Amino acid sequence: MKSLHELPACVVSRKIKEQEITAEEYISTIIERIRQVDHKINSFISNNFESALSKSRTIDKKIKEGLNTGLLAGIPVGIKDNISVQGLKNTCASRMLSEYIPPYNATVVSKIEAQDGIVIGKLNMDEFGMGTTSEYSAFGPVRNPWNLGYVAGGSSGGSAASVASLQIPLSLGSDTGGSIRCPSSFCSVIGIKPTYGSVSRNGLISYSNSLEQIGPIARTIYDLVTLLNVISGVDPKDNTTLPKNYEYKTDHVDHILKKKYKIGVLNDLIDDSETEVAENTRKKVKQLKDRGCEMEDTRIPLSNYALASYYVIATAEASSNLSRFDNLRYGYQGSPEGYEWNSYFSESRSKFGDEVKLRILLGSYVLSAGYFGKYYAKAQKLRSMIKREFDILFNKYDILLLPTMPVLPFRLGEKTLQPIENYNLDVYTILANLAGIPAISIPGGLSKEGFPIGVQLIANAFGEQKLIDVAVLLENIEGFETWIPKI
């Protein structure tokens, strides 16, 4: 019989509502699991245990009194530490914000609490979301639950590792260039980057406004869809959000098969991946073909230029966004005295980590008067061209399929001194961010040495339901929710 912490959120929520177990009993189990496991993984920066227990008792009381409860009744949710939770530190894994406590909730957090979800703590990440490994954190690296000497992926490494290690069933991450999908692939969980404008970014400490989205991570597609439904929707506090119907569902397999999805396989990108990544991705192609999906090879002609476009735009926006952290408007607590202005400003900005400093410098360079047209303007033009290529492909295909990451997880410290090699790892995930379209990473199998491999599906704007349908098919075939690391 499974322990409580091993059960999917949808099963636990039903048991709580039917009073088979109490929310307090479940939250107590989760807290004990975190205390037993997380010192090995380092996925949490701070916890919210006392408040979580108090809220669980309130939910139990509501159920006993016969009052209605929400979709997430009694379910703990971990929040990436760049998403504001009132009363909890929001550090962005940086010394710059090590003592910052936001006075308000991000919209997504308010929506979770409105559905009786419980914020259990804040999760580790690459500083300000800048990284692919979750090693660039002022609080130490996140370790991969499948092998503690390896990276968990980034920047939402804590969000993926905490779910993969059965500490919590659900978490929120943010995705600027693959920051949800990369760690989901490396940790063997499901993570989705929703369509730009479908989920409010109000309360997210932004790295690159035009690229990033908040999204959920879970072990099963059914749990993921529940949290996605909760956080999606228009928000008057974020004028990039759009009023649409966001009622996603996990349909029955037989109904999905009748839709006869046509899937474009990005075979050139599969071939460019490590051998085991390519082999597992082709296995997914065959599985979907055997289930009646029409599979056809295709390509994105401008994909080779996407990485350059992405890093010009992302670093430019980072340079602009992070200029506010000068210890006058925002920044760490404590004011150096006796400095003249340049020394004071330099001392304040020194609180950023090396990777953040590098991206700020790159962004400042491409925005400078002599280079704006040469780099930033060209990157934006290329972005528009890539979006048009996707529009053409989605007139022919329902979904595009490719690996999430071109490589398997690698050792901690292996690439920290190789920024260009690190940036190249984002080559498959940045495509969806540049185009503002939804993409999901689904567990694709394990390598011979037991490392997770993810497969990525991309759909046209607001095509999340198609991604969910195909994820249901693959989960039904593989049962990947049973793949659990031994920590």
Kindly list the catalytic residues: 80, 155, 179
Q: Between vectors from CA 182 to CA 176 and to CA 187, what angle results, nearest 5°?
A: 140
Helix axes 49-64, 23-41, angle to 10 degrees: 160
Kind of pairing between the strands at 452-459 and 439-446? antiparallel
Instruction: Give the distance from CA 284 to its chain's centroid.
Output: 22
Q: Between vectors from CA 232 to CA 226 and to CA 234, what angle results, nearest 5°?
A: 155
| Cα separation, 211 vs 386, whole angstroms | 14
- List phi, psi (to 5°) of 357: -60, -40
Which string of DSSP letters, residue by residue, matches 237-279? TBTT------------HHHHHTT--EEEEEHHHHHTS-HHHHH
| Cα separation, 369 vs 373, whole angstroms | 8
Nearest to 236 by CA among 411, 323, 107, 393: 107
| Cα separation, 217 vs 132, whole angstroms | 16
| Cα separation, 125 vs 80, whole angstroms | 7
| 345: helix, strand or coil | helix
- Contacts of residue 216, defined as CB under 8 A and 6 or more positions apart, other chains included, come to 170, 171, 172, 173, 191, 192, 224, 227, 228, 231
Kind of pairing between the strands at 76-80 and 118-123? parallel
Which string of DSSP letters, residue by residue, matches 359-428? HHHHHHHHHSTTTIIIIIHHHHHHHHHHHHHHHHHHTT-SEEEEES-SS---BTTSSTT-HHHHHHTTTT
Identify whether the C-beta of residue 155 lies closer than 8 Å to the C-beta of residue 429: no
Q: What share of the chain is helix, strand, coil (3-state, %, to 5)?
A: 45, 15, 40
| Cα separation, 139 vs 287, whole angstroms | 41
| Cα separation, 70 vs 111, whole angstroms | 10
**What is the rounded radius of gyration, in angstroms, for the C-alpha atoms of the chain?**
21
Q: Between vectors from CA 93 to CA 89 and to CA 98, what angle results, nearest 5°?
A: 45
How many of the other CB atoms lie within 10 Å of CB of 392?
A: 11
